[in-house]
């Protein structure tokens, strides 16, 4: 047998081994992430508003979490912490924002903020969704 044929056979067997060793692709769960109460377009300094998110899944998740994200962290609109629900098929998550400073000097007079929701499943499956808002603070 010629030397290059041994290499070709070795590479073919090695490729089959890697395919089997990688295991099956984890199934994608059917998950719905719905914002029940979205952040309003306008708030006044001192106002608070809670964004409510409903997560529904056809299989049990390890955890579901919602967290705030802000382009100007600590200014204009602030939110504290992460809301996490451990294990289940449904979860109601909350992120509360407080209007801190007027946004009149910002481009367009609004502060960009987001709510990020992630649902974690076994075998490393993660489903995430981001909801962006532009909020004017008076």
Residue 21 has pLDDT above 60, yes or no: no
- Residue 137 — pLDDT band, cuts 50, 70, 90? very high
Cα-flanking dihedrals φ and ψ of residue 100, to 5°? -105, -45
Let me know if residue 127 belongs to a domain: yes
Let me know if residue 86 belongs to a domain: yes
Percent over 70 (pLDDT), the chain: 80
Please count the structural domains in the chain: 1
Residue 16 or 74, more confident: 74
Let me know if residue 84 belongs to a domain: yes
- Predicted confidence at residue 79, as pLDDT, reads 93
| pTM (predicted TM-score) | 0.79
Let me know if residue 30 belongs to a domain: yes
- End-to-end alpha carbon distance in the chain: 82
Determine whether 47 is exposed, middle or buried from the number of CB atoms within 10 Å of its CB (0-12, 13-18, 19+): middle
Let me know if residue 16 belongs to a domain: no
Domain that holds residue 92: 26-137
Let me know if residue 63 belongs to a domain: yes
Let me know if residue 90 belongs to a domain: yes
pLDDT tens digit sequence for 53-96: 999 999 999 999 999 998 888 899 999 889 999 999 999 999 99
- Residue 20 — pLDDT band, cuts 50, 70, 90? low
Let me know if residue 107 belongs to a domain: yes
- 51-88 burial, b at 16+ Cβ within 10 Å, e below that, comes to bebbbebeeebeebbbbbebeeeeebbbbeeebebeee
Where residue 110 falls (left for φ over 0; alpha for ψ -120 to 50; beta otherwise) is beta
Percent over 90 (pLDDT), the chain: 73
- Residue 129 — pLDDT band, cuts 50, 70, 90? very high
User: Residue 78 maps to which CATH number?
Assistant: 2.60.40.2550
């Amino acid at each position: 047998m010629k030397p290059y044929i041994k290499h070709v056979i070795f590479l073919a067997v090695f490729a089959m081994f890697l395919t089997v060793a990688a295991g099956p692709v984890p199934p994608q769960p059917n998950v719905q992430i719905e914002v029940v109460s979205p952040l309003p377009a306008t708030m006044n300094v001192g106002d608070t508003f809670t964004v409510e998110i409903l997560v529904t899944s056809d299989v049990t998740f390890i955890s579901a979490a919602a967290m705030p994200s802000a382009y100007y962290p600590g200014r204009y609109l602030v939110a504290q912490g992460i809301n996490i629900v451990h294990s289940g098929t449904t979860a109601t998550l909350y992120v509360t924002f407080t209007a801190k400073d007027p946004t009149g000097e910002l481009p367009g007079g609004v502060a960009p903020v987001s709510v990020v929701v992630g649902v974690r499943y076994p075998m490393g499956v993660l489903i995430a969704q981001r909801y962006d808002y532009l909020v004017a603070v008076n």
